A and B are shown apart, each in its own frame.
Chain A
Amino acid sequence: MKLSALREIKSSLGRYMAILAIIALGVGFFSGVRITTPTMVYNMNGFLQEGQLYDYRLLSTIGWEKSDVEDLASQPDVRACEGAYSADILCTDRDGKNEYVFKAHSLTENVNKIKLTSGRMPESPDECLLDAKMGGMKNSDMEGSSVIRIKDSNEQETIGMFRYRKYKVVGYCYSPLYINFERGTTSIGTGSVSGFMYVMPEAFRSKAYSEIYVRFDEDETIYSEGYKDYMDAHEDLWERITREHADARYERLVSDAEEKIADGTRKLEDNRSEGEKKLSDAEQELAEARKTLDETSQQLAAAKEQIDSGRAELEKMKQQLGEAAAAQLAEQEAVLDASEEEYEKGLAEYQKGEDDYASGLETYNSNKQNFDSRIADAEREIADARDAVASLKKPETFLMGRGTNIGVACFENDSDIVAQVAKVFPIFFILVAALVCMTTMSRMVEEQRTQIGVFKALGYSNGSIMGRLMFYSGSAAVIGAAAGYAVGTMLFPRVIWMTYQLMYVDLEMKYMFDVKLAVISGAVSLLCSVGTTWASCRYELSETAASLMRPKAPKAGKRVLLERIPFIWKRLRFLVKVSVRNIFRYKKRFFMMILGISGCTALLLTGFGIKDSVAGFADVQYGEVFVTDADMIFDPEDGKLPESVEKLLAEHTAEHKLLRECSWDLVTKDKTKSITLEVPENYDGMDSFVRMNTADGEPVPVPKSGEAVVSRSLEERYGVHTGDTITLRDDKLNELHLKVIGVFRNHVYNYVFTCPETFTEQLGTAPEFNGAFMNFAEGTDEFKEAAAIAGDKAVKNVTVYSELKERMRKTMSSLDYVVLLVIVSAAGLAFIVIYNLTNINITERLREIATIKVLGFFRSETSAYVLRENIALTAIGTLVGLGLGILLHRFVMGQIVVDMVSFSVRILPLSYVYSVVLTFVFNFLVDLVMENKLERINMAESLKTID
């Protein structure tokens, strides 16, 4: 029995392979698509695990201290806890030619471990590692630049955070903090971060850590329920301790500052009294000196008087006494002269004393002034410090989980797209596989009718006869399932990952074996094959051996409905009539063929449609809806457009429209959703900035006071319809109640448009314009113009829409390979189904074909006789498939939900053409193979007995 089963396989290898292949394809697609998301998550998890990505990132507006880190590290369940520095810094490469904004991080030892891609770790504080993204960039000047310099134009405070002004690049690395290509935004430079850079902690000069990274003692898979539960269990405690530590640090900072102020005050007081004493001493000294000087001056005056009187007396005596007393007088005169000389000396001394005094007084005065101003300064400083302490705000803390990391969050969404698609397609493939197995096996049972009868007559039990057939289909299913599973699970994640690789770190997709999936695949394919075998031979086996050995009466011919319409029927060529009748003769085969072919077309159409919809939404959004060249956000000056901006707008744009753009919450019954509220100054000529049209292309009405038009995403996801009244709330709890008068086509973000009067009426103030749509003049370089406007201080941000469009398009290109996979699979499906059914068709009609060959049909006529039916069925199948495809496409697009984006569900005409043409090409390829098979049919078959 076993031998005969093996021989059976050998003799009908084509049929065996067909079952094997369809099962392999079904299982391959099913398991491949199913395992892709888990494999991607598994490998990403591996990378993050290796790098020990943080579980919590603790931020505080006042930073952290070493003691905080030490303290947090001693909490239960903490595996690693490290403080880190980070700063955005504007740098240039060696020649200063290009400018980059780096996000500089300090290296951490046990969390967020980086992975070197080239070079070595920094060994001294003036060495750094750069983003591997920059090392790999082609034509990048950063390549080969072994030094980066911090630009002087950075804020002084930022420069102060770094110990050195230039860093030597010693290697490139990946960081678990940046698994996706987004590096984030920054307030400096161009506004976007070019890459990250890692330095040793010693390279920073900050006193406080910027952040603390905590890694718990767990190894749960990211995104898993287990991880979520684990983190939920820790959240409350950590919220609290984060708060407490920040508060404690705040208290410490305040008390330290107060202590310092007290110290300062005390010291100031000491200084003041000391200074004052010194000054008063000096003053006293000066007063004494004055007194002495005054006395001296008096004495001198007295002496002068004495001398003068002496001299007068002497003159008098000279005249009285005459010559006789001359000698005596001379003596007296000499005494007088000496006195006078002494007086002169004394006077000179006095003069000097006066000078000394004057300079002393000057010194004193300047000292006093100095002292006063210094005291005043110190007092002011202390007052400032007091103010500072007073104004030192209570710190805000942020306990950030992994979900706040852009890369981690994006990866969850992106990888999930495949999982969404995985929900639909595989079922379809399995269904087709089951149907193919069924038709094939029932054909086989039919063919082996006599043989079954013989076995039965020989006394074999029903079980062993069925077992033989089940072995046939079951072994094909097992081999097919194994092969399909192996190839599918190996190939799909790799191919799909290739697309993600553009956006994520370069990871090798390690193979992941999922026992559950393998068992399900095996079970489903066994059910498909063995189950259908049982279903198709159950009936035959219930017949008696004798009746089995009699040939089964051939299926009677029947007229088809079309014949009842002689108008058409008469016009058909004879052979066409034959085909028409044959097509409708075998109902099962007809439906199978239609299902297979329509499935192929539907898959193709869906595949191309996904591409159209996804590739197209950016084109539609920025080519048909937001047609404006750019927009900008500025800081209003006293509620008005700053003059400098007004001037720039006049100079650099052809036209612009001012608007108030702000984020409000749409409040519905059970949830709130953040939307962008746009209030343009007016709606005149709005068409050259934003074209608000309904899905049918009709323009929506212009909202008047209290009215609004909303983007379609709000209708789709939040059930906001024309005629509804919506409530919007801002962060200050102001509320707007707007009547929706129109829903416009829009694909990115959620918008509500209203008019300024709404603000005036409902909030009591006119809206403060903070942005503008801008259109540049024809022929100007929009990037240059945008840059010129962005240069102004008041301008916060300028977005050029063509750039935005390009970026979105790039992001969405990840689906390209998914589409390719769908197309290849559809081709496989079509090929197997058409091949198998045509094969059955031919074997079933071997006699008939042999007969017409004997009748003298030429090769081409014979092929046409059989394959015309295929072409007709393909045509019908394709038509049905187009209908199915539209539905399937709609369904799949409904599953692919990307936040903030609603795709334009559309299929371009060319995609219909591609789908139809490809289906026919697959059919044609099968026909080529089949033609050879027809050619090989031996005409002697026609002479054989019916078996």
Chain B
Amino acid sequence: MSAFVEFRNVKKTYRTGEVEIEALRDVSFEIGKGEFCVIVGASGAGKTTILNILGGMDTLTSGSAKLDGVDISQLTKKQLTAYRRYDVGFVFQFYNLVQNLTALENVELAAQICKDPLDAEKVLEQVGLAERMKNFPAQLSGGEQQRVAIARALAKNPKLLLCDEPTGALDYNTGKSVLKLLQDTCRNNGMTVVVITHNSALAAMADRIITVKSGMVESMRLNDEIVDVEQIEW
């Protein structure tokens, strides 16, 4: 399988005044299309930086990052925005729903700026929220909110679904059901999903596991024994 996502010798240094921080020293990895990939690492290992770069929210210092053959590192600011708009879907740890919009409207907010969006209501039905579409985020539980967030990302019909600690703010069972949703999405829709987490237990459910440590890729392996979400415990 040709590499759908490809990082080559990516280096990222932040400057804060006189201090230089090397967030990524030399990162190279690749992810195939339709894979469910978990990037795992401790706090400060550099996984968020990878997500930022892959999500088009940040630039890299050197090296190259490609998605579907397009070199993200070469894009202009405006192109980066377009990249985020059309190619990537985000799921945040804290859902980041717009409080003043109903569940349906939150999905529409993303859908209405895309070229080829999915039907918002259908997506919400898919994530199991057909009954709560008209509710405001404040009226939804954390898991439901995260489902809305996932629906919002999916409605954009992106090439890549990026999830940043999607279960971080959720309780155990809810977290599991959200992960299940992500895994099903990957399996059923052929969506490439990248989940970033510090919880190495989640790695068991992934097709590909990338371990990051101190700004370097410690290991990258394909999972031979994919475990169903229900069986994972942490």
B83 proximity list for chain A (CB < 8 A): 856
Q: Decide: A855 near B57, CB < 8 A? Known: A848-B98, A942-B92.
A: no
Say if the beta carbon of A458 comes within 8 Å of chain B: no
Contact of A856 among B84, B94, B105 (CB under 8 A): B84
Say if the beta carbon of A554 comes within 8 Å of chain B: yes
Q: Could you tell me the distance between the alpha carbons of A822 and B208 in the complex, rounded to whole angstroms?
A: 69
B85 proximity list for chain A (CB < 8 A): 855-858
Which candidate, A52-60, A555-563, A806-814, is the interface stretch facing chain B? A555-563
Say if the beta carbon of B181 comes within 8 Å of chain A: no
Nearest CB of chain A from residue B120's CB, rounded to whole Å:
11
Asked if A585 and B100 sit within 8 Å, CB to CB, the answer is yes
List which A834-882 residues lie within 8 A (CB) of chain B: 847-848, 850-859, 861
Q: Decide: A857 near B81, CB < 8 A? Known: A557-B102, A557-B138.
A: yes
0 or 1 for each of A558-571: is its CB under 8 Å from B? (1 = yes):
10000000000000
Which A residue's beta carbon lies closest to that of B149?
A851
Asked if A578 and B100 sit within 8 Å, CB to CB, the answer is yes
Say if the beta carbon of A939 comes within 8 Å of chain B: yes
Say if the beta carbon of A515 comes within 8 Å of chain B: no
Contact of A943 among B48, B84, B102, B137 (CB under 8 A): B48
Say if the beta carbon of B139 comes within 8 Å of chain A: yes
Output the residue of A581, A847, A856 with the most chain B CB within 10 A: A856
Which B residue's beta carbon lies closest to that of A935?
B77
Say if the beta carbon of A940 comes within 8 Å of chain B: yes
Asked if B113 and A856 sit within 8 Å, CB to CB, the answer is yes
Asked if A855 and B84 sit within 8 Å, CB to CB, the answer is yes
Which A residue's beta carbon lies closest to that of B110?
A855
Asked if B81 and A558 sit within 8 Å, CB to CB, the answer is no
Say if the beta carbon of A137 comes within 8 Å of chain B: no
Contact of A574 among B82, B93, B112 (CB under 8 A): B112
Say if the beta carbon of B15 comes within 8 Å of chain A: no
Asked if A556 and B113 sit within 8 Å, CB to CB, the answer is no
List which A134-165 residues lie within 8 A (CB) of chain B: none
Q: Could you tell me the distance between the alpha carbons of A942 and B100 in the complex, rounded to whole angstroms?
A: 17
Q: Could you tell me the distance between the alpha carbons of A290 and B74 in the complex, rounded to whole angstroms?
A: 156
A556 proximity list for chain B (CB < 8 A): 99, 136, 138-139
Asked if A578 and B109 sit within 8 Å, CB to CB, the answer is yes
Q: Could you tell me the distance between the alpha carbons of A878 and B164 in the complex, rounded to whole angstroms?
A: 44
List which A910-947 residues lie within 8 A (CB) of chain B: 939-940, 942-943, 945-946
Asked if B98 and A945 sit within 8 Å, CB to CB, the answer is no
Asked if B101 and A557 sit within 8 Å, CB to CB, the answer is yes
Nearest CB of chain A from residue B213's CB, rounded to whole Å:
20
Say if the beta carbon of B177 comes within 8 Å of chain A: no
Say if the beta carbon of A237 comes within 8 Å of chain B: no
Contact of B90 among A555, A854, A857, A861 (CB under 8 A): A854
0 or 1 for each of A83-97: is its CB under 8 Å from B? (1 = yes):
000000000000000
Asked if A851 and B98 sit within 8 Å, CB to CB, the answer is yes
Interface residues on A, range: 20 to 34
Nearest CB of chain B from residue A938's CB, rounded to whole Å:
8
List which A524-566 residues lie within 8 A (CB) of chain B: 553-558
Contact of B101 among A581, A854, A940 (CB under 8 A): A581
Asked if A945 and B113 sit within 8 Å, CB to CB, the answer is no
B136 proximity list for chain A (CB < 8 A): 556-558
Say if the beta carbon of B126 comes within 8 Å of chain A: no
Q: Could you tell me the distance between the alpha carbons of A577 and B112 in the complex, rounded to whole angstroms?
A: 13
Asked if A856 and B86 sit within 8 Å, CB to CB, the answer is yes
Say if the beta carbon of B78 comes within 8 Å of chain A: yes
Say if the beta carbon of A727 comes within 8 Å of chain B: no
A939 proximity list for chain B (CB < 8 A): 52, 57-58
B105 proximity list for chain A (CB < 8 A): 574, 577-578
Say if the beta carbon of A397 comes within 8 Å of chain B: no
Nearest CB of chain B from residue A879's CB, rounded to whole Å:
24
Say if the beta carbon of B173 comes within 8 Å of chain A: no
Nearest CB of chain B from residue A846's CB, rounded to whole Å:
11
Q: Could you tell me the distance between the alpha carbons of A556 and B90 in the complex, rounded to whole angstroms?
A: 23
Asked if B100 and A581 sit within 8 Å, CB to CB, the answer is yes
Q: Decide: A945 near B94, CB < 8 A? Known: A556-B99, A855-B109, A855-B110.
A: yes
Q: Could you tell me the distance between the alpha carbons of A945 and B100 in the complex, rounded to whole angstroms?
A: 19
Q: Could you tell me the distance between the alpha carbons of A365 and B191 in the complex, rounded to whole angstroms?
A: 155
0 or 1 for each of B148-168: is its CB under 8 Å from A? (1 = yes):
000010001000000010000
Which A residue's beta carbon lies closest to that of B135?
A557
B98 proximity list for chain A (CB < 8 A): 557, 578, 848, 851-852
Asked if B138 and A856 sit within 8 Å, CB to CB, the answer is no
B82 proximity list for chain A (CB < 8 A): 856, 858
B88 proximity list for chain A (CB < 8 A): 856
Say if the beta carbon of B96 comes within 8 Å of chain A: yes
Q: Could you tell me the distance between the alpha carbons of A857 and B109 in the complex, rounded to whole angstroms?
A: 10
0 or 1 for each of B70-83: is its CB under 8 Å from A? (1 = yes):
00000000100111
Nearest CB of chain A from residue B96's CB, rounded to whole Å:
4
B137 proximity list for chain A (CB < 8 A): 554, 557
Q: Could you tell me the distance between the alpha carbons of A850 and B136 in the complex, rounded to whole angstroms?
A: 20
Say if the beta carbon of A582 comes within 8 Å of chain B: yes
Say if the beta carbon of B55 comes within 8 Å of chain A: yes
Asked if A855 and B113 sit within 8 Å, CB to CB, the answer is yes
Say if the beta carbon of B6 comes within 8 Å of chain A: no
Say if the beta carbon of B108 comes within 8 Å of chain A: yes
Contact of B113 among A553, A847, A857 (CB under 8 A): A857
B57 proximity list for chain A (CB < 8 A): 854, 939-940
Nearest CB of chain B from residue A152's CB, rounded to whole Å:
89
Which B residue's beta carbon lies closest to that of A573?
B112
0 or 1 for each of A583-619: is its CB under 8 Å from B? (1 = yes):
0010000000000000000000000000000000000
0 or 1 for each of B131-146: is its CB under 8 Å from A? (1 = yes):
0000011110000000
Q: Could you tell me the distance between the alpha carbons of A746 and B104 in the complex, rounded to whole angstroms?
A: 65
Nearest CB of chain A from residue B198's CB, rounded to whole Å:
14
B90 proximity list for chain A (CB < 8 A): 854-855, 942
Which B residue's beta carbon lies closest to that of A861?
B113
Contact of B96 among A555, A851, A856, A857 (CB under 8 A): A851
A553 proximity list for chain B (CB < 8 A): 138
Q: Could you tell me the distance between the alpha carbons of A585 and B138 in the complex, rounded to whole angstroms?
A: 14
Nearest CB of chain B from residue A584's CB, rounded to whole Å:
10
Asked if B58 and A940 sit within 8 Å, CB to CB, the answer is yes
Asked if A856 and B81 sit within 8 Å, CB to CB, the answer is yes
Nearest CB of chain A from residue B49's CB, rounded to whole Å:
10
Asked if A943 and B112 sit within 8 Å, CB to CB, the answer is no
A942 proximity list for chain B (CB < 8 A): 90, 92, 96
Nearest CB of chain A from residue B16's CB, rounded to whole Å:
13
Contact of B84 among A575, A577, A854, A940 (CB under 8 A): A854
Contact of B92 among A574, A578, A851, A856 (CB under 8 A): A851
Asked if A847 and B96 sit within 8 Å, CB to CB, the answer is yes
Q: Could you tell me the distance between the alpha carbons of A852 and B97 in the complex, rounded to whole angstroms?
A: 10
Q: Could you tell me the distance between the alpha carbons of A582 and B105 in the complex, rounded to whole angstroms?
A: 13
A850 proximity list for chain B (CB < 8 A): 96
Asked if A858 and B58 sit within 8 Å, CB to CB, the answer is no
Q: Decide: A858 near B81, CB < 8 A? Known: A578-B100, A581-B100.
A: yes
A859 proximity list for chain B (CB < 8 A): 78, 81
Nearest CB of chain B from residue A860's CB, rounded to whole Å:
10
A851 proximity list for chain B (CB < 8 A): 92, 96, 98
Q: Could you tell me the distance between the alpha carbons of A326 and B120 in the complex, rounded to whole angstroms?
A: 196
Output the residue of B57, B98, B100, B109 with the most chain A CB within 10 A: B100
Would you list 19 pairs from A and B whose C-beta atoms are within 8 A, ordered by A residue? A553-B138, A554-B138, A558-B136, A574-B105, A581-B101, A585-B100, A847-B96, A850-B96, A851-B92, A854-B90, A855-B84, A855-B90, A939-B52, A939-B58, A940-B58, A942-B90, A943-B48, A945-B93, A946-B94
Give 20 new A-B contacts, CB below 8 A, not counting A852-B109, A856-B113.
A553-B138, A554-B99, A554-B138, A557-B138, A574-B105, A577-B105, A578-B101, A581-B100, A585-B100, A848-B98, A851-B98, A854-B57, A855-B156, A858-B81, A859-B81, A940-B48, A940-B57, A940-B58, A943-B52, A943-B92
- 4 smallest CB-CB distances across A and B, nearest first, come from A856-B85, A556-B138, A557-B136, A856-B84
